[in-house]
Amino acid sequence: MKFSMKKQSGLTFIEVLLSLAMITTLLFVIKPSVAQVWQHWQVQQTVNTLENAWQKSRVLALQTKQLTQLCGSSNGKQCDGNWQQYWLLQQNKKVLQVMRHSFNSAKIKLTSNLPTQKTIQFSALGTTRGQQGRFNICEHEFCKNLIFIRTGRLRVQ
């Protein structure tokens, strides 16, 4: 009588536990890095979107030779200085375009030399009518500044 021993394939319980322990350790090491990359990406996307809204407003003022306003709005219908939700592009108090802020978790703060003015106004020449300042855009501890000067130019810092 012959006994045949077939070789069994598979993993032992110890091998499975060791594999799970290594994967868990890797995830704990990688997770903070992924979160940090995500924060940087959200801030950069917000900067790009706000920069695009700025350029649209300025170009419209130059093309139409009319005062154009870019403002923050919490409801997407009227300017209220809240830059967190929507950005409105207006001429003659009429909303021409509503732009939505993609990542509401990124905080946006406008600081300017005209502290009572919560909007940006572009003259027919594309200038900001004497206003200069910055948008501070932050996601947790990562921040970028979108700095504007009286000529209507922007730079990211």
Is residue 73, in this structure, part of any structural domain at all? yes
Domain region containing 43? 39-156
Domain count, the chain: 1
* Segment 59-97, tens digit of pLDDT: 999 999 999 999 999 999 999 999 988 999 999 989 999
**Does 154 score more than 80 pLDDT?**
yes
Half-sphere exposure of 38 (CA within 13 A, CB side): 9
Q: Enter the pTM of the model.
A: 0.77
What 8-state DSSP symbol labels residue 126? S
Domain CATH for 127: 3.55.40.10
Is residue 102, in this structure, part of any structural domain at all? yes
Is residue 16, in this structure, part of any structural domain at all? no
pLDDT band at 6 (very low <50, low <70, confident <90, very high): low
Is residue 104, in this structure, part of any structural domain at all? yes
Is residue 29, in this structure, part of any structural domain at all? no
Q: What integer pLDDT is reported at residue 53 of this predicted model?
A: 93
Structure tokens given for 152 = 């209507």
CA-CA distance, 122 to 144, in Å (whole number)? 23
CA-CA distance, 34 to 37, in Å (whole number)? 5
Q: What integer pLDDT is reported at residue 70 of this predicted model?
A: 95
Non-local (6+) Cβ contacts of 81 within 8 A are 71, 72, 110, 118, 119
Is residue 13, in this structure, part of any structural domain at all? no
How much is the average pLDDT of 105-123? 89
**Does 5 score more than 70 pLDDT?**
no
